[in-house]
Each structure stands twice: as C-alpha cells, then as structure tokens.
Amino acid sequence: MTKPPRKRNKATSAASSDSTLPDDQDLEDISLQGNPALAIINVTAVEVPELTEQEISDRLHLERKVERAFFEAGKALMELRDRRLYRSTHKTFEEYCRDRFSYTYRHVNYLIAGSVIVDNIKMGTNSSQNESEDEMGTNSSQILPTSEVQVRPLAKLEPQQQPEAWQQAVEKAEGKVPSGRIVKDVVQQIMERTKVPNTYQIGEVCQILAKDNPELRGKGGCWGIVNHVGEFSCTVRTWDGEYTVALQHLKSYNYLPPECGQMQVICDRISRVYSDPLEETVKSLLQLLGKLNRPYLTVVEEKLLNVLESEYGREIAP
C-alpha cells in the first residue's frame, strides 16, 4: 500500500532566513517607544556669555532711565507750567497738556506731585547716607519709586514724614520696590497712629491747604464752608463746588458765628455768578474773592460783585 506523500514545509525567503532577532539595543528602543516617559533627551548645553563691563554699565544706565521716567516727566511738566512755556500756543496749561501729551489735568497733577515726593524721599534718605551718587543723581543702594502710583498715597503725609514712610514700605517689601498697595497700607498705619479727632463743625469757615496734594491743585489758600463732618475729613463748599478734604489739609479761620453767616452769603453770591462759560477776567476776579482771608467784602469788592450779578442776571433776591 502506497504511503501518502508527506507535507513539505513552506519555503522561506532568503531575506527571511538571513534575518536575525533584534539585539538588546533594539529591544530597548522599542520599549522606550512604548513608554515615552522613560525616554532620555539629550540637550546640548549652550554657554551664555557674561556681560562685559561696558554692558553692565549700559544696563544700569538704562535701568535708571526706566526708574526715573515718571519722575523726569513730572519735573519737566512742572517747569513747563511754572515758566508758562505753553503760552505761545495755548491759553491754559490744562489745554496744552491735553493737546500735546493727551494727559488729563489730574494725571499731570499726579506726575508733578509725584516728582516732588520723590525729591522729598531722596533728601530724607540721602541725609543719613554718605555713599557717592551715580551720574543720575541717585544713591546706588537707594530704592526709589518707579511709578507715580507708588508715591500717590504719600501725598496724604507731611513732607518730613514721606521718607520714613517710604523706607518702611521698602522694608515691608523685603528690600524691593514696594507696590502702591504696600505704600498705602503703611501710610494708613501712620495716619492711624497720628490720628487727630475731628473738631470741625458744620458752617465753620476753613482755609484749604493744598500741601502738594494733586487733588487740591488750584485750591490752596481758598476758603470753604464745612457742610459735612466725617471721621478723617470734611466736605467743604467753595465758590465753584464741593470738595472732600482731609483734616490735615484744612485750617479753621476761627470766625464768630455772625462772621460765618456773612461768608455763607458771600459764597452763595459768588456761586450764583460762577460758571464755565464766563470770561477769564471774570473768573479770575471770582477766584480772588474765593481766597479772601477776612469775613467781609470791601466797598470796591462789593460794587464789583454787584456789577457781575447784574450783568449775568443772577442777583440774590432781598
């Protein structure tokens, strides 16, 4: 009986027969592809060259410029205002700043007041240090404000208090330039320690003391009548509106009640005449009356005010 033929093995290709199993390195590569977290990335280290002495000097010089930007702006604006260098193109400094720099009047006042405060800080701290100053006029170890916002809270303090308050804020910021919030907190603490009880009364006539407070710009020396008494401030009425003023920016005239009543009448009369469309000459006259340091009008002042009331139809009914 003939045996059935045996099945022959399937022939393999020469390429297959010549293949070899992957070595250990290949297995490791396959394993890493399966688990990327185990992959090792080779990074070529790049050496960063050190700054040269000239580059260090340039860096410090440019940093000083950045730090002093708002300070220099405030000083320049102050000189433009005080020397009236805007007069050839604009009637008022406010219009000039708005057209030339797109600055609001309040922002300009903040910058100017900030530059004055920085000067106070520099004078206060330099008086206790003997280190040499750099070409920018600042002590190399002195931490100075870099933004107007940082010094704005200091305007509430007396000039001699500002350097100490700034130094406390620097210490609170661990030797770095403090934020406006830190400075504000320090100022609040100082004001709490030196708090004076509010003794003003409604109807009392007071003089406004600007003391480098930008919000009171143009109101220094003006009188106002207290119509609201708060814990740390008073609201006073002047010839052109109402202002909330901190106690340190007020000084009582100590007028007698009848004198306060006379000033109330004068304030009402000026307020009725005063308005924005008035001519500059008329405004100037009313502003002068708003800075009287006596509880009455002279004969000439009474006549002038009568003329203005008649001219603008705002007489007070008898």
How many CA atoms are closer than 13 Å to the CA of 162, on its beta-carbon side? 28
Any domain includes 164: yes
Same domain, 217 and 205: yes
CB within 8 Å of 280: residues ≥ 6 apart: 91
Task: Report the C-alpha gap between 221 and 183 in whole angstroms.
Answer: 28
Any domain includes 49: no
- What's the confidence (pLDDT) of residue 227? 92
Any domain includes 201: yes
Any domain includes 53: no
Tokens representing 4 are: 């059935």
**pLDDT tens for the chain, residues 1 to 318:** 455 555 455 444 444 444 444 555 554 454 555 565 566 767 666 677 888 888 888 888 888 888 788 999 999 999 999 999 999 999 888 899 999 999 988 888 889 989 999 999 998 766 554 444 444 444 445 789 999 999 999 988 888 889 999 999 999 999 999 999 999 999 988 887 876 678 899 999 999 998 767 777 788 889 999 999 987 789 999 988 888 888 888 999 999 888 999 999 999 999 888 876 778 888 888 888 989 889 889 999 999 999 988 888 654 444
Same domain, 69 and 170: yes
Instruction: Give me the domain span that covers residue 84.
Output: 58-127+147-193
Any domain includes 115: yes
- What's the confidence (pLDDT) of residue 233? 85
Same domain, 115 and 205: no
> Shortest CA distance to 213 belongs to which of 150, 159, 286?
159
Same domain, 207 and 261: yes
Any domain includes 160: yes
Residue 44, Cβ neighbours under 10 Å: how many?
A: 4
Same domain, 312 and 204: yes
Same domain, 189 and 105: yes
Residue corresponding to tokens 């708090």 = 195
Task: Report the C-alpha gap between 131 and 137 in whole angstroms.
Answer: 12
Same domain, 246 and 262: yes
Any domain includes 308: yes
Same domain, 183 and 262: no
Structural domains counted in the chain: 2
Same domain, 152 and 216: no
Task: Report the C-alpha gap between 230 and 200 in whole angstroms.
Answer: 9
Any domain includes 293: yes
What type of residue is 71? F
Same domain, 221 and 302: yes
Same domain, 315 and 215: yes
Same domain, 178 and 211: no
